[in-house]
């Protein structure tokens, strides 16, 4: 299944770090958070990634263009320019990078990825959130209900889109970033049917506003409940916390490799 990652925002609340690199390229344990997100999906066998790029996209493109050399040992003959790889990284990801505009909002970024999806069910997430989510269970849940969209509902500190959820897991309403008291929120890690593009009207809208609100009103948005680890890297404090988890040897988003 294809995985779209929204990787084009400015990351204004992390301006002390994003002045030099785009937010998805901020490192945790010497790897961009984007790599960590992709590793989560790869562990479950989903390795066809489509990155919706924007701000400082050239740094994301350079990273993947040079990925093998950056992550391998090699010798180079400076006279001829020939390179002999001594040890290569073992990775089989397919990474497509699309310029979705520097100023685009999330709905517009997704709309510009439509040609990559065609008529397939696909996954979508943000380029700044980590979780020890069971992707197999998420996809199975989506397939079981037959609706247009599944959003992963999590319970982190309060500051994201609140979900009013009925007992049968149907999302009754969607509000972007209200004041909360520990309720379920939008944790990303969506599974979407291609008809999602019918809900993105206009040229530059927030995916988290009209599209998700309309889906909720029509009963087409379902919630997959994730009670495990989830952390968004929204501020410098969030980044420092993820770094502490990594260097403390307790990075819960690193799911053990699975046979797929």
pLDDT score recorded for residue 178: 45
- Tokens at 25, concatenated: 């390229």
From the number of C-beta atoms within 10 Å of its C-beta (0-12, 13-18, 19+), residue 82 rates as exposed
State the maximum Cα–Cα separation within the chain, in Å, rounded to a whole number.
69
Q: How far is CA 120 from CA 2, 155, 193, 197, 211, in A?
A: 8, 30, 7, 12, 19
pLDDT score recorded for residue 180: 37
pLDDT score recorded for residue 179: 40
Can you give the pTM of this predicted structure?
0.87
Residue ranges for the chain with pLDDT beneath 70: 157-168, 171-182, 257-260
What domains, with CATH codes, occur in the chain? 2-72+92-154+185-247 (3.90.550.10)
- Give the CA count within 13 Å in the CB-facing half-sphere of 5: 27
Length of the chain: 260
CA 52/CA 72 separation, integer angstroms = 27
pLDDT score recorded for residue 64: 95
pLDDT score recorded for residue 164: 59
pLDDT score recorded for residue 126: 97
Phi and psi (nearest 5°) for 87?
A: -155, 125
CA 134/CA 138 separation, integer angstroms = 6
């Amino acid at each position: 299944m294809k995985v779209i990652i929204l990787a084009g925002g400015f990351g204004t609340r992390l301006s002390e770090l994003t002045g030099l690199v785009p937010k998805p390229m901020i490192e945790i344990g010497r790897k961009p958070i984007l790599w960590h997100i992709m590793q989560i999906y790869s562990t479950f066998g989903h390795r066809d990634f489509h990155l919706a790029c924007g701000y400082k996209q050239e740094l994301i493109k350079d990273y993947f263009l040079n990925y093998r050399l950056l992550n391998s040992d090699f010798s180079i003959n400076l006279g001829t320019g020939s390179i002999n790889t001594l040890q290569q990284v073992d990775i089989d990801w397919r990474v497509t990078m699309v310029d979705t505009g520097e100023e685009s909002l999330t709905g517009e970024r997704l709309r510009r990825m439509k040609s990559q999806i065609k008529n397939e069910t696909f996954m979508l997430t943000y380029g700044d959130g980590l979780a020890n989510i069971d992707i197999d269970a998420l996809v199975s849940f989506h397939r079981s209900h037959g609706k247009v969209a599944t959003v992963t509902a999590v319970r982190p500190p309060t500051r994201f889109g609140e979900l009013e959820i009925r007992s049968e897991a149907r999302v009754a309403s969607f509000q972007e970033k209200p004041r909360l008291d520990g309720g379920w929120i939008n944790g990303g890690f969506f599974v979407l049917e291609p008809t999602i593009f019918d809900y993105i009207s206009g040229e530059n809208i927030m995916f988290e506003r009209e599209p998700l609100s309309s889906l909720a009103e029509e009963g087409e948005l379902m919630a997959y409940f994730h009670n495990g680890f989830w952390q968004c890297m929204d501020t410098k404090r969030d980044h420092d916390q993820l770094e502490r988890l990594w260097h403390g040897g307790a990075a819960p988003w690193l799911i053990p490799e699975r046979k797929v």
